[in-house]
Chain A
């Protein structure tokens, strides 16, 4: 392979939506978005599907998997927590995520495969959920399923610290729903796009 060809390949990998392959991505997005097997937010929506393709490309996941696990909560794209756990488990850098719970709270732990070192995420507690206003919000799942929420949040914190490339700077859907300071204008905008 010539030096010129190698440079071209690298550039394409780093910029999947560059002009060079935008048309190709758009064609793929058009085909995918016309399927009724994909989630409703993407059906007939080429721009949304293009974004999902771009994200799938970046994290090396299948576009369908991304579409099924990428939610728009109060106008923000967010991963489902179960997807984050699956992505951490399959990324090849850590052993399967485990949750350690005691009176202090819940933390996610895993072994870093390259070094054999045990890595611990921050402890999440119900006091934290109350203090942050996650549990007091209307319809909060912290009130109805606290055990699951503790583990989801512990996984999100672990991912944010040790695998931010997988989260891509995004919150989990549960975190986004917990944000109490969402402006009503944003909610109204979100509703207007849905209804």
Chain B
């Protein structure tokens, strides 16, 4: 089984994040995955996102991997030394501030208390890499579903999203912005091709990052998924074209009319 790191290092296949960059411009994709210049920047939001995923999807891994940073004054020499000694004593752990740690636990607890989300995440396989060649374009693809569960003879892919706003209106906006519909279609088709099993649905479990950490579950319908399918196949076709020609263009070098946004 591929580790999360192996999954991200494999540039012979394209992921949903890669498709997003191709959509922006092939030059962005090249810079991120193929140039060798990209350095992963860690941000607090990303770190908390990973920790929440572990706390919800793999609680045992969370307990093993994450700890609370000691409360020392790192502006003083003694504080710095104590802090460094602490990190040396715990080399394989990731640390969060006490408040971030509590936030992760609260989010996980909230998901557990949601009747549908908790059932969906009760039993299944977390973070398993799937690879396939797209049927229509032949493009080599990869995905790493958060969670796959079987219930009453059906397979469901479950994706956990931390969000500012899990309300139908709020989540619909961020889902469109981050192209979650493309992710749903890409993962559903990929899973079917990789395992020969058609998942019944791709279900988003959206959990708000702030109290009361409300949870909501969503699916896209066939119309949105069919539209997303067309979109990702167009992205895959562009990706293949760029790969075959080894040409990764940026934005068109023309003068474009600028539109005002629709809001």
Contact = CB atoms under 8 A, between A and B. Distances in A.
What range describes how many residues of A lie at the interface?
A: 20 to 34
Nearest to B223: A184
A181 B152 CA distance: 24
Interface string A158-195: 00000000000000000000001111110110011011
Given A184-B220, A184-B221, A138 B192 contact: yes
Interface string B200-213: 11010000000000
B221 A183 contact: yes
Interface in A72-120: none
A10 B116 CA distance: 48
A139 interface: yes
B222 A192 contact: no
A21 interface: no
B225 interface: yes
B189 interface: yes
Given A191-B201, A194-B151, A194-B154, A138 B225 contact: yes
Given A194-B152, A194-B154, A195-B151, A143 B219 contact: no
B198 A181 contact: no
A30 interface: no
Contact of A195 (B120, B198, B222, B225): B120
Contact of B219 (A40, A144, A180, A184): A184
11 contacts: A40-B152, A138-B185, A138-B189, A138-B225, A139-B189, A144-B196, A180-B222, A183-B221, A184-B219, A191-B201, A195-B151
Interface of B: 116, 119-120, 135, 151-154, 156, 185, 188-189, 192, 196, 198-201, 203, 219-226, 229
Interface of A: 40-41, 136-139, 143-144, 180-185, 187-188, 191-192, 194-195
Query: What 7 pairs between A and B have smallest CB-CB spacing?
Result: A184-B221, A139-B198, A139-B192, A195-B119, A195-B116, A194-B152, A138-B188
Given A138-B188, A187-B222, A191-B203, 14 more contacts: A137-B222, A137-B226, A138-B222, A139-B199, A180-B226, A184-B221, A184-B222, A187-B201, A187-B219, A188-B219, A191-B200, A191-B201, A191-B219, A195-B120
